[in-house]
């Protein structure tokens, strides 16, 4: 500092030195800030960070496919990255052994959620289980879902629903075949998976209304699109007012009001109509639990509606996305397609309907599904977490209130864990019972990890397996008019965190073009 003052004194006695003095002060100030930051990082021993820009930090490095961009950054800087996204600190984890340390040593510290404005609006200020803060009430709600809604017997009881909806889909495809027309498989898969989830949750089909009113399908699609968007205030809290100015918050509230009205009507209808035990859906079960008043938390109207929306979001988009990716990979790998179809058809043996016991014997098909979830996890960043307190991971200091993005996409493609990691090879799971969805190890984590892992694995997998088995059993598939060309898999556009951050970049760009 004495040297700096000495230089300044000399500059001040030189003619026309004002500009030089100002420039010198700016340069010294920047150097001091950089030095202080580096010293602070060294003292705290924070994880490595890629170079960042003023104000926006590392936002520019996310790219159009953030899970791929962050994998590339992790390959360069290491499996623990501390990013600055606007005014928000984000820790990106891209290593199975670090995930294992988090679960086995620091799971409680990493069990809070980094909630967005959309999550707070749509889930009644996070009164459900996916986005609720960690604590005793959350544990009781999760226990209710596991024991009452998503247990093995309950999943089996919904087999008639799956059978009925898949039969409707198969008949639609048969009609298209009779007319020798192509089939929009994506649309059929989305409709079928949505109908299965809707009927299990609400006892209704996911259909367009004929009475001129906006259908619940349109409202849910709008909600899913808005839910995946971050507001400017999510990453720049000091610019929270921007989301009001741009109408972001009002759009969320309008959609929420439409959803809330639908949920109120469904719940009131269920109160008036008593169903027998064989036909109960999730609304019936929750109302029955509410009447008993034996729960360890208050199951009021808002909490019930939040739980129902939780189940809807978790049970629809992720299932249809995974099925689409499975058939895209099979279309690109005809030998795998032939092998899995031969297994399915051999086990079913010409019967007119696939039975649950048949599914249990389809070992190779289960490998195909695992390999699809490995390469294309429906939520590449899982659901972002937040540190409840500061912790030490691999010798690095992780501050309190840091958002945690676990990049399952990067872990699932780690060449240290997987041979030929970028290739679709279902055989890698044959005879390997150690790698499964229950996370005995941490190589395959499409359904999350630890306390905040998805409680609906059985429900989701049952629908996945039944839909895929039927599509493979009844039809031979090929891509129309592709002249032998492969489907382009490079434009990997998974849902969840990747899409959410991509939507944010689009929103920021659009805001930057506005005249205010």
User: What is the pLDDT at residue 438?
Assistant: 63
Distance CA 94, CA 71 (A): 7
Q: According to the model, what pLDDT value does residue 502 have?
A: 46
Mention the CATH class of domain 45-512.
mainly alpha
Residues 157/149, Cβ–Cβ less than 8 Å: no
- Helix axis angle, 159-178 to 185-202, nearest 10°: 150
Task: Delimit the domains of the chain by residue range.
Answer: 45-512
Nearest of 403, 362, 366 to residue 497 by alpha carbon: 403
How would you write the pLDDT of the chain (516 residues) with one tens digit per residue? Answer: 433 334 334 444 444 555 454 444 445 544 444 444 444 444 579 999 999 999 999 999 998 889 999 999 999 999 999 999 999 999 999 999 999 999 999 999 999 999 899 999 999 999 999 999 999 999 999 999 999 999 999 999 999 999 999 999 999 999 988 888 888 888 899 999 999 999 999 999 886 544 444 578 889 889 988 998 899 999 999 999 999 999 999 999 999 999 999 999 999 999 998 777 778 999 999 999 999 888 889 999 999 999 999 999 887 788 999 999 999 999 999 999 999 999 999 999 989 999 989 999 999 999 999 999 999 998 899 999 999 999 999 999 999 999 999 999 999 999 999 999 999 999 999 976 555 676 667 899 999 999 999 998 999 999 999 999 999 999 998 777 666 667 777 655 444 444 444 444 444 444 444 332
* This prediction's pTM: 0.85
Closest residue by Cα to residue 382 from 373, 392, 390, 394: 373
pLDDT for the residue numbered 491:
56
Q: E-assigned strands of 387-449?
A: 391-393, 396-398, 403-406
Calpha distance 503→349 (Å, rounded)? 47
| The pLDDT value given to residue 439 | 61
One-character DSSP codes across 242-301? HHHHTTHHHHHHHHHHHHHHHHHHHHHHHHHS---GGG--HHHHHHHHHHHT-SSS---H
């Amino acid at each position: 500092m004495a040297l700096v003052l000495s230089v300044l004194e000399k500059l001040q006695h030189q003619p026309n030195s004002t500009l030089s003095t100002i420039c010198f002060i700016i340069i010294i100030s920047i150097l001091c800030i950089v030095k202080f930051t580096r010293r602070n990082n060294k003292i705290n021993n924070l994880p490595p960070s890629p170079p960042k820009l003023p104000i926006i930090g590392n936002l520019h490095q996310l790219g159009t496919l953030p899970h791929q961009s962050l994998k590339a950054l992790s390959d360069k800087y290491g499996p623990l990255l501390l990013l600055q996204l606007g005014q928000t600190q984000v820790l990106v984890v891209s290593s199975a052994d670090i995930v294992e340390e988090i679960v086995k040593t620091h799971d409680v510290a990493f069990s809070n959620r980094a909630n967005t404005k959309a999550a707070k609006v749509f889930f009644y200020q996070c009164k459900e289980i996916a986005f609720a803060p960690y604590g005793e009430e959350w544990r009781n709600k999760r226990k209710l879902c596991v024991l009452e809604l998503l247990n093995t017997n309950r999943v089996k009881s919904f087999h008639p629903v799956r059978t009925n909806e898949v039969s409707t889909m198969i008949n639609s495809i048969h009609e298209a075949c009779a007319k020798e027309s192509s089939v929009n498989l994506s649309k059929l898969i989305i409709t079928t998976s949505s109908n299965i989830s809707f009927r299990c949750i609400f006892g209704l089909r996911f259909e367009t209304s004929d009475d001129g009113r906006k259908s619940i399908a349109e409202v849910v699609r709008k909600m899913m699109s808005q839910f995946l968007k971050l507001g400017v205030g999510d990453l720049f809290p000091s610019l929270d007012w921007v989301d009001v100015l741009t109408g972001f918050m009002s759009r969320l509230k309008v959609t929420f009001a439409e959803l809330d009205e639908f949920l109120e009507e469904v719940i009131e209808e269920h109160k008036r109509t008593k169903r027998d035990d064989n036909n109960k859906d999730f609304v019936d079960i929750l109302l029955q639990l509410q009447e008993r008043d034996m729960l360890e938390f208050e199951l009021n109207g808002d909490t019930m509606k939040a739980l129902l929306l939780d189940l809807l979001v978790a049970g629809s988009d992720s299932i249809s996305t995974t099925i689409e990716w499975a058939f895209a990979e099979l279309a690109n790998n005809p030998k795998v397609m032939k092998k899995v179809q031969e297994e399915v058809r051999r086990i079913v043996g010409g019967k007119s309907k696939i039975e649950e016991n048949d599914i249990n014997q389809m070992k190779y098909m289960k490998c195909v599904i695992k390999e699809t979830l490995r390469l294309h996890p429906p939520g590449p960043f899982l659901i972002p977490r937040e540190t409840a307190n500061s912790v030490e991971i691999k010798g690095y200091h992780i501050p309190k209130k840091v958002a945690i993005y676990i990049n399952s996409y990067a872990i699932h493609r780690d060449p240290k864990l997987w041979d030929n990691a970028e290739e679709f090879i279902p055989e890698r799971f044959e005879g390997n019972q150690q790698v499964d969805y229950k996370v005995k190890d941490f190589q395959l984590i499409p359904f999350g990890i630890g306390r905040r892992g998805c409680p609906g694995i059985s429900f989701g997998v049952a629908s996945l397996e039944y839909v895929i088995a039927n599509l493979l059993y009844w039809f031979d598939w090929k891509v129309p008019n592709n002249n032998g060309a492969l489907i382009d898999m490079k434009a990997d556009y998974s849902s969840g965190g990747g899409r959410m951050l991509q939507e944010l970049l689009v929103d920021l760009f659009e805001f930057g073009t506005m005249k205010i």
